[in-house]
């Protein structure tokens, strides 16, 4: 079967492409505007181990309407199954095609489908944005399946606003898990330094998610500052405990985090490393006692960073609203749960007293992850992939797109007329 995967933001699609290629399918992965550390090659020691074909769409961020429609047809017509993230719903909607799996990465779900102009008459430069937005919304709405964890009401509200028709199923694999067993080379100099820190620390912690708390909206803040404050409280209570926190120079608030660390006197306890490929990141995680997740306003069940932590068979410390997931009938895997600086401090104290029990819990969490994020995908995709359904948008939604494009054409015409009228008025005055 010919399968196309579109986009790889947050490493969210390439693992599935590899699994599908290993199953014997002919798989193409089209990269959009990926960062270097989200390129498929960042996952493998040897690029020859990649079983799928890597292609590239020549488009910049947000330029859905800039890609020639003939090029899109050349790229995407003729496939049997469509998987995508990022702008893939909009790109396919331009061709009256629907995604089989839409795995959102973030703003592609809760921001891009809802773009609105701040002007009574939208400006001419906004027309492409408006069109991309409606294409994205309708593309998501028509996706057959949304592989995702039931994370929080913020995400569910975005799905409700889009008016999705598809079914929510377990997420696509966040990692190509067989790679966990591969020997890795990686950043030898950095690894050597961390090994020394490991030897000289009673507790080694790693937080690999980006630093985004000072400038982030409440709903998507990583809560890095909350963890730093909890660590400060832990240090005050444990003057004789040697601990090290590994942080990555990644995210919009790295400088603010460094300022907070200096203010709280934690600079000697923190070791910063540069942003790196996942194959190297996983090497560092395996050396840690605890992998640190998010502590923002919203609770998250499973996402890329904590999948990396759990797959490394170390303890995962983060915020999870357990009663919410219990009400959704979701299985709770073992973790160290904390929601504020006081609970974070208590959790670290508890770990030091019950280290062996937490290690057993991390093994249980790993088994859960393999069942939830690998085995269920393999079982589900084999069942779904052969189910015949329409490849096209619903007629109603296809007509909405056509009508909206006519409406935005009139916006362009009105803008042009107003510009000409303004020029004419100036000439008359002169």
Q: What are 304-315's pLDDT values in tens digits?
A: 999 999 999 999
pLDDT category at 46 given cuts 50, 70, 90 is confident
Q: Which residues are CB-contacts of 88 (< 8 A; sequence separation ≥ 6)?
A: 6, 7, 32, 82, 99, 102, 139
Look at the chain and report how many structural domains it folds into. Answer: 2
Nearest to 279 by CA among 311, 317, 245: 311
Domain residues for the domain of 80 are 2-172+394-416
pLDDT category at 35 given cuts 50, 70, 90 is confident
Q: Judge whether 54 lies within some domain.
A: yes
Q: What is the pLDDT of residue 425?
A: 66
Q: What is the pLDDT of residue 26?
A: 98
Q: How does the average pLDDT of the chain come out, rounded?
A: 94
Same-domain check for residues 151 and 217: no
Query: Could you tell me the CATH number of the domain that includes residue 126?
Result: 3.40.50
Structure tokens at 313: 């068979």
220 or 88: whose pLDDT is higher? 88
Q: Name residue 95's beta-bridge partners.
A: none
Same-domain check for residues 219 and 346: yes
Same-domain check for residues 23 and 81: yes
Q: What is the pLDDT of residue 34?
A: 85
**Cα(201)–Cα(341) distance, rounded to whole angstroms?**
21
CA Rg, the chain, in Å?
24
Same-domain check for residues 104 and 152: yes
Under 8 Å between Cβ of 6 and 102: no
Q: What is the pLDDT of residue 180?
A: 83
The answer to whether residue 424 scores a pLDDT higher than 60 is no
Q: Judge whether 430 lies within some domain.
A: no
Query: Could you tell me the CATH number of the domain that includes residue 340?
Result: 3.40.50.2000
pLDDT category at 60 given cuts 50, 70, 90 is confident
Same-domain check for residues 241 and 299: yes
The answer to whether residue 386 scores a pLDDT higher than 90 is no
Same-domain check for residues 281 and 406: no
Mean pLDDT of 264-287: 95
The answer to whether residue 244 scores a pLDDT higher than 70 is yes
Mean pLDDT of 131-145: 97
Same-domain check for residues 17 and 161: yes
pLDDT category at 422 given cuts 50, 70, 90 is confident
Mean pLDDT of 334-358: 97
Q: What is the pLDDT of residue 59?
A: 84
Same-domain check for residues 43 and 78: yes
The answer to whether residue 429 scores a pLDDT higher than 80 is no
Under 8 Å between Cβ of 25 and 264: no
Q: What is the pLDDT of residue 389?
A: 78
Q: What is the pLDDT of residue 175?
A: 95
Same-domain check for residues 329 and 398: no
**420: helix, coil or strand?**
helix
Same-domain check for residues 347 and 231: yes
Q: Judge whether 429 lies within some domain.
A: no
Structure tokens at 400: 């909405």
**Cα(127)–Cα(16) distance, rounded to whole angstroms?**
34
58 or 95: whose pLDDT is higher? 95
Q: Calculate the CA 111 to chain-centre distance.
A: 14
183-193 residue pLDDT tens: 565 688 999 99
Same-domain check for residues 22 and 104: yes
The answer to whether residue 98 scores a pLDDT higher than 70 is yes
**Cα(123)–Cα(129) distance, rounded to whole angstroms?**
10
The answer to whether residue 85 scores a pLDDT higher than 80 is yes
The answer to whether residue 423 scores a pLDDT higher than 80 is no
Side-chain-facing half-sphere of 309: CA atoms under 13 Å? 27
Same-domain check for residues 168 and 192: no
Mean pLDDT of 87-107: 96
pLDDT category at 368 given cuts 50, 70, 90 is very high
């Amino acid at each position: 079967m010919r399968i196309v995967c579109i986009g790889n933001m947050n490493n969210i699609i390439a693992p599935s492409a590899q699994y599908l290629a290993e199953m014997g399918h002919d798989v193409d992965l089209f990269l959009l505007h990926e960062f270097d550390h989200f390129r498929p090659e960042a996952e493998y020691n040897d690029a020859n181990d990649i079983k799928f074909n890597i292609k590239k769409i020549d488009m910049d961020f947000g330029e859905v309407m800039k890609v020639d429609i003939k090029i899109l047809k050349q790229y995407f017509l003729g496939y049997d199954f469509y998987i995508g993230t990022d702008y893939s719903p909009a790109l396919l909607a331009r061709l009256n095609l629907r995604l089989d799996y839409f795995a959102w990465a973030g703003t592609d779900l809760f921001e891009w489908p809802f773009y609105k102009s701040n002007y009574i008459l939208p400006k001419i430069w906004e027309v492409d944005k408006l069109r991309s937005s409606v294409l994205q919304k309708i593309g998501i709405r028509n996706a057959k399946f949304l592989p995702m964890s039931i994370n929080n009401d913020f995400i569910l509200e975005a799905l409700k606003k889009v008016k999705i028709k598809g079914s929510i199923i377990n997420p696509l694999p966040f990692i190509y898990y067989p790679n966990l067993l591969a020997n890795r080379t990686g950043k030898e100099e950095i690894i050597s330094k961390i090994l020394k820190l490991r030897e000289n620390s009673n507790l080694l912690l790693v937080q690999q998610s980006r630093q985004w708390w000072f400038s982030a909206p409440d709903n998507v803040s990583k809560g890095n500052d909350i963890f730093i404050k909890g660590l400060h409280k832990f240090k005050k209570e444990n003057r004789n405990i040697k601990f090290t926190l590994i942080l990555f120079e990644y995210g919009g608030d790295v400088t603010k985090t460094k300022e907070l660390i200096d203010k709280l006197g934690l600079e000697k306890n923190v070791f910063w490393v540069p942003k790196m490929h996942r194959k190297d990141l996983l090497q560092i995680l395996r050396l840690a006692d605890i992998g640190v997740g998010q502590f923002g306003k919203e609770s998250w069940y499973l996402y890329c960073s904590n999948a990396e932590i759990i797959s490394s068979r170390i303890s995962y410390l983060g915020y999870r609203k357990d009663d919410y997931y219990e009400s959704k009938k979701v299985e709770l895997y073992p973790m160290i749960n904390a929601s504020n600086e006081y609970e974070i401090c208590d959790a670290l104290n508890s770990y030091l007293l019950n280290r062996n029990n937490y290690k057993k819990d991390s093994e249980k969490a790993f088994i859960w992850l393999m069942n939830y994020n690998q085995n269920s995908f393999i079982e589900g995709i084999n069942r779904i992939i052969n189910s015949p359904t329409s490849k096209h948008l619903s007629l109603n939604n296809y007509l909405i797109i056509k009508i909206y494009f006519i409406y935005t054409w009139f916006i362009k015409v009105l803008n042009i007329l107003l510009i000409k009228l303004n020029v004419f008025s100036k000439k008359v005055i002169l």
